[in-house]
Amino acid sequence: MKRLSVPKIQRRKVDGVTAEPVVMLTAYTARTAQLLDAHCDMLLVGDSLAQVIYGLPSTIPVTLEMMCNHGAAVVRGSYHSVVVVDMPFGSYEVSPQVAYENAARILKETGAAAVKLEGGKVMAETVRFLVDRGIPVVGHVGLTPQAINVLGGYAARGRSEAEAKKIVGDAIALDEAGAFAIVLEGVLEPIAIEVTESVEAITIGIGASARCDGQVLVTEDMLGMFERTARFVKRYHNISENIVQAATDYANEVRSRSFPGPDQLYQPKT
């Protein structure tokens, strides 16, 4: 199977209609990427690795080095999906030039095909700068976790008419700047529908609407790794129960000296 390309993903949307929705999940490790790859169109190396892997309170402390290391692992573990790597907080906001240098580093060090960055109109010039110079960009509007210190929480966005208008305007600005896809996170459904109908970019919903051109979830969220998640997470599994059960069984067997058993022991050659 040949790896999908950004233009191939883009071509899913014809005259505003995406017949086959784009499937995206997060991955931070090679093995997870291997398991998800064949079932996805895009794998996102999200800066949500802050909370999911590193136990950090927000995505703010994530570094470029972390994103490069995990991005490279995910590229090594996949051969089909388009790999998108999040640009961490502080690595792209200051200027298009700085954003380019850091995005180029991500692509060089990881082999990923695209980067994702948060923000609307204010980032449009940067998106244009990157795309014109060979770096495909995914935008991200609505609930943008890197803005946690400005937003004050992770509540849904676009409840007031002014805020709804701003989100739609931000998405259109990213679209006009050349973003090939736009993540719409934590927005009321009518906003997601309006954006999806207004832009050429592939809209990727997370807590948005089934009418987006695609969907993304944090893999560990949908696997049931955490007790508490956002309303928009659907749990397709309860992996934390499996892990706790396995750890319990192992601990019991070690303590009762029933592990290792005959099957796990090296036998003398006969």
Measured from the Cβ of residue 237, the count of other Cβ atoms closer than 10 Å reads 11
Binding mask 16-35 for ligand KIV (x = CB under 6 A): ----------x---------
Bridging pattern class, strands 13-14 and 17-18: antiparallel
In this complex, which beta carbon is closest to Na ion, that of residue 91 or of residue 190? Answer: 91
Does residue 183 bind ligand KIV (CB under 6 A)?
Answer: yes
Is 101 assigned a catalytic role? no
**Measured distance CA(208)–CA(233) in Å, rounded:** 11
Measured from the Cβ of residue 256, the count of other Cβ atoms closer than 10 Å reads 8
Options 44-52, 95-103, 235-243, 256-264: segment touching ligand KIV (CB under 6 A)? 44-52
- Secondary structure element (H or E) that encloses residue 117, with its range: none
Per CB under 6 A, contacts with ligand KIV among 74-133 are: 86
Q: Among residues 10, 1, 75, 31, which one has the least CA distance to residue 214?
A: 10
Does residue 212 bind ligand KIV (CB under 6 A)?
Answer: no
Contact 84, 204 (CB under 8 A): no
Q: Which partner in ligand KIV, Na ion, none is near 186 (CB below 5 to 8 A by kind)?
A: none
- Secondary structure element (H or E) that encloses residue 166, with its range: helix 161-176
Taking the complex as a whole, the smallest distance from the CB of residue 233 to ligand KIV amounts, in Å, to: 10
Does residue 46 bind ligand KIV (CB under 6 A)?
Answer: yes
Q: Which of 185, 194, 220, 241 is catalytic?
A: 185
Both tokens of 10, joined, read 């883009």
Site of interaction with ligand KIV (CB under 6 A) = 26, 44, 46-48, 86, 183, 185, 206, 216, 218
Site of interaction with Na ion (CB under 5 A) = 46-47, 86
